[in-house]
């Protein structure tokens, strides 16, 4: 094996295969992909999106009255801050929260922190209500502002007509049907988000306080924020109901304002109502929709067009196969080659963008495939892992075949006879199994620290394995020096590198090294 010395890096940007089609202008609308997600949901999905710095709007199921659940703590907070602006209260003002205010059998972080009650500032009460979604403190604030009717009157006064604020958290807990009296139409909630963002009704200090509080929201990290890059600023409020005896979940919601890397913003409301899907699936629906909108806004300002495809394989019990597409907008740069990127186990197909975007910048068409889903059984961690994990690898190969068949329909000009594969960890195992089965249609294959599936000893296709030095591969997986020479297989080890570093979570130095090694291999 060869060691790679970081000090000798000369950064070259040359990357894997892709192609740009003349259908680009037809692919940029997010509507089609969102419609597919809604169709697959076992509930009612309401969506509203507004561009806050440019003209853009999108609505789905906007006439339906969706149960808000804890989303209604956002308009409540605005009503409280309105009274602060009028001088009735101050954010520093202290209030006594009695033990009796902290009722059991409901979500209440303050009760857990202060079981016997406490004295807290209004600012802290708002933080508990919005950022931590405390039900007891929500009701405390409703009482403080004079009841639900006063909150409703405030909303009416600022021009909000299709949000109903009728019941407290305690009242909702008494009967299943009561939660539906607190409802909103998607576009009306997005309208309220826009009013808040533009600072039209609250003072700057109140607006800034609420913005910071919503950014600090700890609930629902897998919803609006679920597939967005780590560190993305999202000011949001979630809402979640229980599930009744019939298996119906009344509400899995998230609404908020997302800040894009270019400093622009969009407001988004996603309500999932009366669903028989599990929580993980409903949260994934929200995350996927948000990522599609994120990609839509980003592609306007980049040389790369990013598109989220949510494919469904009907031949395998309607298995979902999400795919992230990266391609260059400039047809003169395109080379019609295809790269199939395979993430590691539990890794998102968006977590290898440092490879995909660089490849697309050089004209390659990259399809990053999500192989494992939240609904899949966990893979084995003990026993004969080669045998026990083989079904998951076989499923991965089937995913790759299915994605190829779907891409042929959408992008017929790509070169499907000379594929390029890249796979990290289990994605590398899948890639090597694909090479073993279909070597005649693979041009180059690259694994990033895979450990189980034996690299086929073949002269063609060309094979490269980039290794971290944290774990050893299983015996016989990697070729010995004589086999490397005989078959032209390249093995490169990155010093002081961990297994997880070979993704977007690695250091800039590691990602630079990986890209250079890949570039050198592909161009030869």
Which is nearest to 395 in space by CA: 338, 316, 474?
A: 316
Query: Catalytic residue among 33, 48, 169, 503, which?
Result: 169
DSSP-assigned beta bridge partners for residue 467? 493
What is the C-alpha to C-alpha distance for residues 419 and 337, in angstroms, rounded to an integer? Answer: 7
For residues 43 and 276, the answer to whether their CB atoms sit within 8 Å is yes
Query: Catalytic residue among 17, 70, 275, 334, which?
Result: 70
For residues 272 and 295, the answer to whether their CB atoms sit within 8 Å is no
Catalytic: 17? no
Catalytic: 324? no
For residues 459 and 487, the answer to whether their CB atoms sit within 8 Å is yes
DSSP-assigned beta bridge partners for residue 493? 3, 467
The three-state secondary structure class of 253 is strand
For residues 495 and 3, the answer to whether their CB atoms sit within 8 Å is yes
Burial class (CB in 10 A: 0-12, 13-18, 19+), 25: exposed
Q: What tokens were used for 409?
A: 């329909």
For residue 31, what are the CA distances in angstroms to 292, 296, 414?
Answer: 9, 10, 25
Cα dihedral: 455, 457, 460, 463 (round 10) = 30
Q: Within a 10 A sphere around the Cβ of 332, how many other Cβ atoms? A: 7
Q: What tokens were used for 437?
A: 């089965």
- Give me the active site residues, please: 70, 169
């Amino acid at each position: 094996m060869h060691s790679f010395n970081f000090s000798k890096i000369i950064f070259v940007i040359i990357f894997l295969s892709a192609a740009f089609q003349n259908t680009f202008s037809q692919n940029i609308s997010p509507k089609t992909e969102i419609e597919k997600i809604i169709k697959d949901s076992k509930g009612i999905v309401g969506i509203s999106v507004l561009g806050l710095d440019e003209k853009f709007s999108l609505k789905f199921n906007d006439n339906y009255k969706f149960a808000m659940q804890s989303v209604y703590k956002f308009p409540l907070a605005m009503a409280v801050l309105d009274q602060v602006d009028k001088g009735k209260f101050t954010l520093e003002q202290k209030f006594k929260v009695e033990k009796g205010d902290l009722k059991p059998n409901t979500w209440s972080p303050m009760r857990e922190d202060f079981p016997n009650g406490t004295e807290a500032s209004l600012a802290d009460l708002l933080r508990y209500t919005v950022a931590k979604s405390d039900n007891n403190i929500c009701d405390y604030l409703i009482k403080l502002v004079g009841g639900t009717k006063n909150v409703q009157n405030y909303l009416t006064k600022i021009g909000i007509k299709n949000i109903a604020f009728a019941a407290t958290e305690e009242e909702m807990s008494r009967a299943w049907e009561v939660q539906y009296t607190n409802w909103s139409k998607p576009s009306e909630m997005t309208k309220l988000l826009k009013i808040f963002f533009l600072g039209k009704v609250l003072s700057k200090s109140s607006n800034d306080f609420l913005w910071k509080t919503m950014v600090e929201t700890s609930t629902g990290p897998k919803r609006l924020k679920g597939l967005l890059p780590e560190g993305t600023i999202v000011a949001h409020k979630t809402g979640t109901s229980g599930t009744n005896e019939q298996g119906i979940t009344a509400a899995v919601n998230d609404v908020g304002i997302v800040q894009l890397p270019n400093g622009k913003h969009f407001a988004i409301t996603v309500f999932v109502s009366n669903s028989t899907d599990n929580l993980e699936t409903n949260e994934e629906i929200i995350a996927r929709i948000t990522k599609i909108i994120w990609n839509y806004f980003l592609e306007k300002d980049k040389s790369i067009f990013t598109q989220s495809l949510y494919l469904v394989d009907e031949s395998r019990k309607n298995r979902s196969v999400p795919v992230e597409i990266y391609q260059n907008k400039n047809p003169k740069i395109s080379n019609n080659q295809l790269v199939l990127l395979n993430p590691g186990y539990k890794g998102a197909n968006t977590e290898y963008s440092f490879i995909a975007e660089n490849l697309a910048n050089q004209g390659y068409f990259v399809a990053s495939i999500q192989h494992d889903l939240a609904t899949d059984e966990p893979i084995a961690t003990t026993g004969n892992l080669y045998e026990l994990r083989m079904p998951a690898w076989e499923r991965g190969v089937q995913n790759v075949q299915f994605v190829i068949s779907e891409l042929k329909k959408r992008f017929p000009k790509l070169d499907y006879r000379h594929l390029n594969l890249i796979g990290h960890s289990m994605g590398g195992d899948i890639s090597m199994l694909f090479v073993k089965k279909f070597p005649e249609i693979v041009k180059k294959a690259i694994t990033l620290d895979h450990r189980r599936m034996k690299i086929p000893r073949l002269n063609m296709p060309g094979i490269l394995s980039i290794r971290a030095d944290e774990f050893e591969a299983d015996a016989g997986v990697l070729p010995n020096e004589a086999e490397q020479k005989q078959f032209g297989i390249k093995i490169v080890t990155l010093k002081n590198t961990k297994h997880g570093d070979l993704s977007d979570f690695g250091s800039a130095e590691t990602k630079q090294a990986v890209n250079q090694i890949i570039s050198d291999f592909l161009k030869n």
